[in-house]
Amino acid sequence: MAPLPRIRIEVPAWASELVDWDRAYTSDEERMDLAIALARENVLREGGGPFGAAVFEADSGRPVGVGVNLVMALNNSVLHAETVALMLAQQRLGSYTLRAPGMPAHELVASCDPCAMCLGATLWSGVTRLVCGAAREDAVAIGFDEGPVFPASYEYLEERGIAITRGVRRAEARAVLELYRDRGGIVYNA
């Protein structure tokens, strides 16, 4: 009998070159700049889709987890940048929720509005805020299917205590999506 396959999830080594783990990223723009840099580098290194994300302590601005799209690299449809960043942040903090007692508030910063799956992961992760760069329409314009995401999806998250800010550095984030398209990147979920 063959052994069961194992899953090992880790961001590429180059991602550590982009993150200053000791730095306080104090503004939405600085935090988004990191998410966009991760997405851009993933495109330039042909590592996967044009998406990046990071989890920060809300007040201190300290990064606790980062992610890039690893769908094609690891042959796993759920390894979107947001889910990778959330999983690695939870692992690093030793908690299945980022709202554990005694833990500071955390926020997820994503280079693009999350797809339906990532919105669900955001809800269950324990983050208290979601910050987005490019819009859903920007991802759809290059061929990605973002699934059933509606205005009510965001309203639901807000009703559950997750603040949402969208459109931070949208032009810069959209440029990464366009770079991916222009370089012939594969749209793996169309």
Query: Could you tell me which residues are beta bridge partners of residue 63?
Result: 56
Kindly state the greatest CA–CA separation across the chain: 53
Say what the alpha-carbon torsion angle 51, 5, 119, 57 is, to the nearest 10 degrees.
-70
Q: Which of the 8 DSSP states describes residue 143? A: T
Of 123, 122, 37, which is closest to residue 83 (Cα–Cα)? 122
Q: What is the pTM of this model?
A: 0.96
Retrieve residue 38's tokens: 């991760």
Buried b (16+ CB within 10 A) or exposed e, 20-33: eeeeebeebeebbb
Q: Does the 22-181 domain belong in CATH 3.80.10.10?
A: no
Identify whether the C-beta of residue 134 lies closer than 8 Å to the C-beta of residue 32: no
The H or E element containing residue 179 is helix 170-182
3-state secondary structure of 83: helix
Other beta carbons within 10 Å of 127: 29
Tell me what the mean pLDDT of segment 42-47 comes to. Answer: 95
Domains in the chain: boundaries: 22-181
**Model confidence pLDDT, tens digit, residues 81-121:** 999 999 999 999 999 999 999 999 999 999 999 999 999 99
Give yes or no for residue 124 having a pLDDT over 90.
yes
Retrieve residue 78's tokens: 């759920």
Q: Which residues make Cβ contacts (< 8 Å) with residue 119, sequence separation at least 6?
A: 149, 153, 154, 157
What value does the mean pLDDT of the chain take? 96
Give yes or no for residue 190 having a pLDDT over 80.
no
> Which pLDDT score is estimated for 67?
98
The H or E element containing residue 111 is strand 106-112
Residue type, 158: E
3-state secondary structure of 25: coil
Tell me what the mean pLDDT of segment 148-163 comes to. Answer: 96
